Structure 1
Amino acid sequence: MSFPITTPITPSLRYPGWLSEVVKPLEEFIDEPIDPREYFVDLNEVAEGENGSVYAARISETANLARLTKLPPLIKARDVEGQANGKIMIVAIKTVPILPSGSKKLEELRKELGLLRGAMHVNILGMHALYVDLLEDSLWIRMELMERSLADVVVLCEEGLVLQERIIARFTHDMLEALQFLASHNIAHRDIRSDNLLLNSEGFLKLTEFSNAVKVNANSPVVTDVVGILYWQAPEIRAGPYNALKIDVWSVGATVWELAQAAPPFFSDSDGPPGDRWPKLRKPEIYSPAFHEFLRMCSEPVSSRPDARELLKNSFVNNTSGRPVIGQLLQQCVAIEKLVSQRTDLEGDDEQATLIS
Structure 2
Amino acid sequence: MVEDVSRRPVTPSTRFHDSPIRANDSALITQRPTAIRRLPFTPAQNRSNLNPAGTSSTGQQCVGPRAGHIRSTKPIYYQTVNYLLEVASTHDRSGALRSLHVFGEQIAKLNSVRCLVHGLEYKNTLIQMSLDLGVRDHPRFKSALEEDQSALREKVMDVLYCSGDEQVVLSLEDNAAQSLLDIIQLMLDNALLHTRDATSKARRLIGKLAKACDKLPSSLIISGVTQRDEHPTFCGGFGYVFKAMYQGKPVALKHMRMFQGTDQRDIRRKFCREALVWQRLRHPYIVPLIGIDTESFPSSLSMVSPWMKNGTVIKYLSLFSDSRARVSVLDGLIREIAQGLAFLHYEHVVHGDLRGVSQFCFAQERSKSVFLFQSNILVDDSGRACLTDFGLTVLTDATVSQINHGAGSVRWMAPETLNPVTGFARTPASDIYAFGCVCLELYTGFPPFHILHDAQVMLQVIQKDRPPRPPGDLIPDPIWNIMQQCWAHDLTERPRILGIVLDLAMYERQLADVAAVNVDISILTEAHNSGSVTNENYGGWVESVIAPFAGFIDVAVNPRNHYVNLHEMADGSEGATLYVARLASADHDLLNLPEDVRQRDEDNFCAGHPTFVAIKSIPIVPEGNATLRKVLLERRILSAVQCQNILQMDSLYVDPAEDALWIRMELMDRTLSSVVDLASVGLVLSDNIIAGCVKDILTALATLYAKNIAPRNICSSNILVNQQGILKLTNLSNATKFSVGRSHSSNVQSDANALGALAWELAVGRRQSFQILSVEPEWPPEIVSRTPALREFICQCFNPQSTQFGYNQLIESTFIREACDRAALAQVMVQCSAFEKRLRYPRL
Q: For the residues of structure 1 that align with 2:641 and 2:677, how far apart are their CA atoms?
A: 32
- How much does 1:303 deviate? 7.7
Q: For the residues of structure 2 that align with 1:42 and 1:193, how far apart are their CA atoms?
A: 32
Name the SS for the 1:283 alignment partner.
Answer: helix
- The letter for the 1-side match of 2:781 is R
- How much does 1:84 deviate? 4.6
- The letter for the 1-side match of 2:652 is L
- The letter for the 1-side match of 2:827 is Q
- How much does 1:72 deviate? 1.4
Q: For the residues of structure 2 that align with 1:331 and 1:85, how far apart are their CA atoms?
A: 23
How many residue pairs get aligned? The number is 312
CA shift in 2, pair 1:50/1:189, >3 Å: same
2:207 is the alignment partner of 1:207:
no
Q: For the residues of structure 2 that align with 1:13 and 1:145, how far apart are their CA atoms?
A: 34
Matching residue of 2:800: 301
Q: For the residues of structure 2 that align with 1:148 and 1:2, how far apart are their CA atoms?
A: 42
Answer whether contact 1:12 1:20 (CA < 8 A) is retained. no
- TM-score normalized by the length of structure 1: 0.78
Answer whether contact 1:297 1:306 (CA < 8 A) is retained. no
Name the SS for the 1:244 alignment partner.
Answer: helix
The gaps in structure 1 that reach 5 residues or longer are 223-241, 267-272, 346-357
* 1:133-282 matches, cutoff 5 A: 133-220=655-742, 243-266=746-769, 274-277=771-774, 280-282=779-781
- How much does 1:24 deviate? 1.7
- How much does 1:322 deviate? 2.6
Matching residue of 2:159: none
2:502 is the alignment partner of 1:11:
yes
2:837 to 306, 330, 338: 338
Answer whether contact 1:249 1:307 (CA < 8 A) is retained. no
- How much does 1:19 deviate? 8.4
The CA deviation string for residues 38-85 of structure 1, in whole angstroms up to 9 with x for no partner, is 11111222333225222221110052x44423x212222332444355
1:314 to 806, 813, 818: 813
- The letter for the 2-side match of 1:265 is Q
Q: For the residues of structure 2 that align with 1:30 and 1:309, how far apart are their CA atoms?
A: 37
The CA deviation string for residues 290-315 of structure 1, in whole angstroms up to 9 with x for no partner, is 11111111111358756322211111
Answer whether contact 2:582 2:610 (CA < 8 A) is retained. yes
Q: For the residues of structure 2 that align with 1:48 and 1:97, how far apart are their CA atoms?
A: 12
- How much does 1:97 deviate? 1.4
Q: For the residues of structure 1 that align with 2:802 and 2:794, how far apart are their CA atoms?
A: 16
The CA deviation string for residues 211-262 of structure 1, in whole angstroms up to 9 with x for no partner, is 110111132357xxxxxxxxxxxxxxxxxxx822332111111111111111
Answer whether contact 1:246 1:307 (CA < 8 A) is retained. no
2:591 is the alignment partner of 1:68:
yes
Matching residue of 2:650: 128
Bigger relative contact order, structure 1 or 2 (CA pairs below 8 A, ≥6 apart): 1
- How much does 1:180 deviate? 0.9
Name the SS for the 2:835 alignment partner.
Answer: helix
CA shift in 2, pair 1:2/1:315, >3 Å: farther
CA shift in 2, pair 1:313/1:2, >3 Å: farther
CA shift in 2, pair 1:97/1:162, >3 Å: same
Answer whether contact 2:725 2:828 (CA < 8 A) is retained. no
- How much does 1:12 deviate? 1.9
- How much does 1:11 deviate? 2.4
Name the SS for the 1:58 alignment partner.
Answer: strand
Matching residue of 2:441: none
- How much does 1:164 deviate? 1.1
Q: For the residues of structure 1 that align with 2:813 and 2:802, how far apart are their CA atoms?
A: 19
The gaps in structure 2 that reach 5 residues or longer are 1-491, 507-539
- How much does 1:179 deviate? 0.9
Name the SS for the 1:151 alignment partner.
Answer: helix
Matching residue of 1:288: 787
- TM-score normalized by the length of structure 2: 0.35
- The letter for the 2-side match of 1:53 is T
CA shift in 2, pair 1:50/1:221, >3 Å: farther
Answer whether contact 1:167 1:326 (CA < 8 A) is retained. yes
CA shift in 2, pair 1:258/1:29, >3 Å: same
**What is the aligned-residue RMSD (CA, Å)?**
2.9
Matching residue of 1:43: 566
CA shift in 2, pair 1:81/1:322, >3 Å: closer
Q: For the residues of structure 1 that align with 2:808 and 2:683, how far apart are their CA atoms?
A: 31
Answer whether contact 2:711 2:732 (CA < 8 A) is retained. yes
2:613 is the alignment partner of 1:91:
yes
Answer whether contact 1:91 1:143 (CA < 8 A) is retained. yes
Q: For the residues of structure 2 that align with 1:218 and 1:19, how far apart are their CA atoms?
A: 33
1:58 to 572, 582, 585: 582
2:546 is the alignment partner of 1:23:
yes
Answer whether contact 2:567 2:580 (CA < 8 A) is retained. yes
Answer whether contact 2:803 2:809 (CA < 8 A) is retained. no
Over alpha carbons, which structure has the higher Rg?
2
The CA deviation string for residues 261-320 of structure 1, in whole angstroms up to 9 with x for no partner, is 112334xxxxxx844436523234421121111111111135875632221111111212
Q: Identical aligned pairs, as a percentage?
A: 36
Q: For the residues of structure 1 that align with 2:712 and 2:801, how far apart are their CA atoms?
A: 15
CA shift in 2, pair 1:164/1:178, >3 Å: same
Answer whether contact 2:558 2:653 (CA < 8 A) is retained. yes
Answer whether contact 2:689 2:819 (CA < 8 A) is retained. yes
Answer whether contact 1:192 1:251 (CA < 8 A) is retained. yes
Name the SS for the 2:641 alignment partner.
Answer: coil
The CA deviation string for residues 156-210 of structure 1, in whole angstroms up to 9 with x for no partner, is 1232111111110100111111111111111101011111111110011111110
2:591 is the alignment partner of 1:100:
no
CA shift in 2, pair 1:58/1:304, >3 Å: closer
Q: For the residues of structure 1 that align with 2:604 and 2:658, how far apart are their CA atoms?
A: 29
- The letter for the 2-side match of 1:26 is F
- The letter for the 2-side match of 1:35 is N
CA shift in 2, pair 1:192/1:204, >3 Å: same
CA shift in 2, pair 1:274/1:114, >3 Å: closer
Q: For the residues of structure 2 that align with 1:43 and 1:25, how far apart are their CA atoms?
A: 27
Q: For the residues of structure 1 that align with 2:674 and 2:494, how far apart are their CA atoms?
A: 40
Matching residue of 2:381: none
- How much does 1:148 deviate? 0.7
Answer whether contact 2:619 2:660 (CA < 8 A) is retained. yes
Q: For the residues of structure 2 that align with 1:20 and 1:248, how far apart are their CA atoms?
A: 34
Deviation larger for 298-307 or 116-125:
298-307
Name the SS for the 1:101 alignment partner.
Answer: coil
Answer whether contact 1:45 1:54 (CA < 8 A) is retained. yes
Q: For the residues of structure 1 that align with 2:505 and 2:613, how far apart are their CA atoms?
A: 26
The CA deviation string for residues 324-345 of structure 1, in whole angstroms up to 9 with x for no partner, is 22222222222332333346x9
Q: For the residues of structure 2 that align with 1:9 and 1:31, how far apart are their CA atoms?
A: 16
